[in-house]
Amino acid sequence: MTANSDKTIEEQILALKKSRNAVILAHNYQRGEVQDIADFVGDSLELSQKAAQTQADVIVFCGVHFMAETASILNPQKTVLLPDAHAGCPMADMITADQLRRKKAEMPGVTVVTYINSTAAVKAESDYCCTSANGVRVVQSIKGNNILFVPDQYLGDFISKKTGKKMTLWPGYCPTHMRILPEDIIRQKKEHPNASVVVHPECRPDIIALADEALSTSGMVRYAARPDVQELIVGTEVELLHRLYKENPDKKFYPASDKAVCPNMKLITLEKVLKSLETLTPEVKVPEEIRIKAKACVDRMLAIG
């Protein structure tokens, strides 16, 4: 409770959400208490699908900047709020629109597939967007092999192996998933011999090779719900375990590494969500010229599903 109200912070958020006709979307890596007040918790694909469908006037995006930007690309008439303007994704900043333009000039006729973890300006220079949930489907839909995949080299490598398409990979990576090491998986497997192993395709290939499946965060949620799964080693950001335990209280989940924490995802707090709804700031907006081009790339992805 706060000094100036006899309502809990959760109650204040819910009341303001109603009066603002707002929807709260949260990524699977958000703090547990933020996930718990959200209308919808999901992976990047599900969140962009929700953002495309919402009837709300205000979208409070509890995630990182590129996610809020994608919601704004799809909803230019709505107010999209990112409760902490500094919640960025270092991987998204590993390629600029200028760098992409220069690379395209070296590769005539290239098709550019861009991970959703990228800026709107980079999406505007791209042909297709994808997430970790639909990257294989998106690349499979493209004719030929003249494909440039940006910015995540490891997701690109994973998709390349799954589709048999040799792609040129931009050397970006996720610093959080890089903290998961082969010895972490080997140690956890030894300690929990009956557990299956799922990892995120942002992990290095030597980690993916040790796993039963490489899945998006919501793909892991669905895997954990399978009746034949009772114990699971989870190779991704540690906060996913909040949702896994909430939805499967009788099962056991082990983080591959306690070091896999995304500091940017942790910047969003309940206090900041409340302040954001009170002030309708910080707002994320994309310049119209960039938005139109970026939307074409995101729409091509959403059509594939």
User: Which parts of this chain interact with ligand 13P (CB under 6 A)?
Assistant: 28, 43-44, 117, 131-132, 174, 200, 202, 216-217
Determine the angle formed by the axes of helices 288-304 and 65-74, rounding to 10 degrees.
Answer: 90
Return d(Cα 281, Cα 75) in angstroms, integer.
16
Candidates 208, 262, 270, 294; binder of ligand SF4 (CB under 6 A) is 262
Nearer to ligand 13P, 12 or 117 (CB): 117
CA angle 18, 43, 236 (to 5 degrees): 130
- What residue 132 binds from ligand SF4, ligand 13P, none (CB within 5 to 8 A, per partner kind)? ligand 13P
Q: How many Å apart are CA 184 and CA 187, to the nearest integer?
A: 5
Closest C-alpha among 158, 243, 137, 169 to residue 207: 158
Verify binding: residue 64, ligand SF4, rule CB under 6 A.
yes
Region 173-212 residues binding ligand SF4, contact defined as CB under 6 A: 174-176, 202
- Of 20, 40, 85, 90, the residue at the interface with ligand SF4 (CB under 6 A) is 90
54 neighbors 75 (Cβ within 8 angstroms):
yes
CB-wise, 174 or 180, nearer to ligand 13P?
A: 174
With contacts defined by CB under 6 A, name the span among 96-104, 172-180, 225-233, 287-295 that binds ligand SF4: 172-180
Q: How far is the CB of 49 from ligand 13P (least distance, A)?
A: 12
Distance in Å, CB of 103 to ligand 13P, minimum: 23
Q: Are strands 196-199 and 213-214 parallel, antiparallel or unpaired?
A: parallel
Closer residue to ligand 13P in complex, CB, 174/290 = 174
Strand partners, 171: none
Q: Which is nearer to ligand SF4, 136 or 240 (CB)?
A: 240
- Cβ-count burial of 279 within 10 angstroms (0-12 exposed, 13-18 middle, 19+ buried)? exposed
Of 202 and 239, CB closest to ligand 13P: 202
One symbol per residue from 125 to 164: x for binding ligand SF4 (CB under 6 A), - otherwise; what is it? ----------------------------------------
Give the SS3 label for residue 214: strand
Least distance to ligand 13P from the beta carbon of 264, Å? 9
152, β-bridge pairs: 172
CA 238 distance to own-chain centroid: 14
